[in-house]
Amino acid sequence: KVNGRTYSTSQTVDLSPDLLTGWHTYEIRRYGTHRIEFYADDSLVMVSDTYLPEEPYDFHHWIDNQVYHPEDDPDAQDPDSFKVAVYRAWWEGTNEMVTDYVQIIHGSQPISYTETPSGIVRLRDYPNEIGTGESEYLWKSYNFETFGGSTLILVTAKAEEYDGYDNPDKLKMLVDGTDYGYGGTYGWDGDVLQTATKNVLLDTTLSSGSHSLQLYGQVTPILYDVTVLNAGDGTILVNDVPNETAPAGSDNYLWKTYQFSFSEPGEVAIYIVASADENPGWSFQGPDHSSPNVDDSQDDDLRIELDNTDYGWKTENSWYGNDLFGEVKTVLIHDTLMSGTHYLRLYANNTPTLYRVLIYGGNFDASLPVQLNLFTAEITREGHLLRWRTESEVENLGFNIYRAVSEDTIPPVMEAFQKINNQLIPGAGNSNVARDYQWLDKNVIPNKVHWYILEDVDYQGKRRKHAPIYIVNRALTIETFRLRQNFPNPFNPATTIPFDVPRAGWVVVEIYDLQGQKVRTLLNDYLSAGSHQVVWKGCDDRGIPVGSGVYYYRLVTSKQTLVRKMILMR
């Protein structure tokens, strides 16, 4: 409390006997200076709307028959100083209250959530919850599906020990019935951790299909999050466990930089565990003690940049000390990236603590270079004709095609795609010349948007999916030529250029530099109506890489010419 006056008042409530022993959750909800609600185990037990503290963030903490709260010091020279007054709670007999865990929630940011599985993220639950129970209990039970192959199971939790007041917290996990125990690498034991948070990474291989994950607790461990990442050819690109605090006085300080690369477009999951402390003294007044705003000048903050995407300060994907109050938070960034080199950057204010940075690439294997430079879908009388062209292939056994059907042009989740070819479409094996392929989908559905993904399979059976395309069905025909923005942009070394053609005809796609000189012809072909895309890998017509800079890509048809700008950054 800063610069407030002392108050003293009371309201009472008789709690049920079962709330006076064992472990329970007590919650105080404060709505400004006009209402306080008191909860016990999620049940509302008392409401106070009179005689409330006059400062918005005053609170009382009851421990061992005492109430502690600030009291003005009329003799203090420093206007920010105060004394702590102690009041008896008027309990009779022998009573003790051990405070296991205090969670302070400021604002409306959710403290728990669950994400729907999508792509390589097979499970994401953020309960941010404290367990209750002296003896062993089944706390959480999850079922998740995998594509088979590399699987990462990540669990972040805390276990404490209470100096003899109670038994230590414990937490363990069981995966498909395999018990990993309360101690060691994959368990949480309060006697060992004391009050520390531990992030467990179980890197394993699971068969495709359904799997189970169970968490058993003892006493009151704290579970922050449970995450499962899986892809058939998934690879850990970065796994850093720094357990490090940013330098004191950091101010938008570029603290950590992680570089990683993709040989082809693919999914990425970036998992970060960190904590941030509140402003010293927990001052919720401005620096001059007159503003009602939170004083953020000295709290810890941490923000993320992925390539040119800034996830911002004080967002759901950042760490804000005056909301976290020193607690751990995990953030998961799930995205699809193009081939090339990428950068993850972490910026710090003051002294946040970083525990783990893990970057997991889905369907990523540098030894599978099927270089795809064209993938299109065309409407014919028989169905949708899929065409693709490879520049080169290494140990390519063949291709599979996956299809999803939707109502609009918003990309569906990976679970919606189903393989539609009964037999593998033969590949060229090893080839360093361009090769053309096609496959006809006869089972189209009227009035729907059809999405297609091309997958290549190597001699060892490893699979890799390429970026999806879509085609609008006959009843939803494309009405205009459209040249879409390339992605990614800026890019290095490759980018995808999507475009729509409303009627069949000859189409040319070319690249020009700022001086108007043609750099490369990407496409010069007859195309049917539909959605198409081509890939530019930053080379001229001789195959020589060009330098960084601004380039123009041009779509030319018999009816019109469309031009857009893009940026290559080497």
Q: Torsions phi, psi of 475, nearest 5?
A: -75, -10
Average pLDDT, the chain: 81
In Å, how far from its chain's centre is CA 562?
Answer: 36
Return the pLDDT at 5.
Answer: 45
DSSP secondary structure of 519-543: EEEEEEEEE-SEEEEEEE-SB-TTS
Residues 28-75 have pLDDT tens digits of: 777 766 778 888 888 999 888 875 655 444 444 444 344 444 555 555
Peptide bond just before 247 cis, omega within 30 deg: no
Return the pLDDT at 324.
Answer: 87
Cα–Cα distance for residue pair 119/411, rounded to 1 Å = 12
Return the pLDDT at 163.
Answer: 74
Cα–Cα distance for residue pair 489/486, rounded to 1 Å = 6
Cα–Cα distance for residue pair 181/177, rounded to 1 Å = 12
Burial pattern 314-353, b for ≥16 Cβ within 10 A else e, equals beeebbbbbbbbebbbbbbbbebbbbbebebbbbbbbbbb
Which H, E and C letters describe 364-420, residue by residue?
CCCCCCCEEEEEEEEECCCCEEEEEEEEEEEEEEEEEEEEEEECCCCCCCHHHCEEC
Q: Torsions phi, psi of 263, nearest 5?
A: -80, -25
Tell whether pTM > 0.75: no
Residues 180-190 have pLDDT tens digits of: 999 889 999 99
Residue 454 contacts residue 411 (beta carbons within 8 Å): no
Cα–Cα distance for residue pair 173/470, rounded to 1 Å = 42
Q: Which has more pLDDT, 475 or 44?
A: 44
Return the pLDDT at 328.
Answer: 94
Tokens encoding 454: 């091309």
Q: Pick from 311, 293, 294: which is nearest to 302 by CA?
A: 311
Name beta bridge partners: 210.
Answer: 145
Name beta bridge partners: 398.
Answer: 426, 457
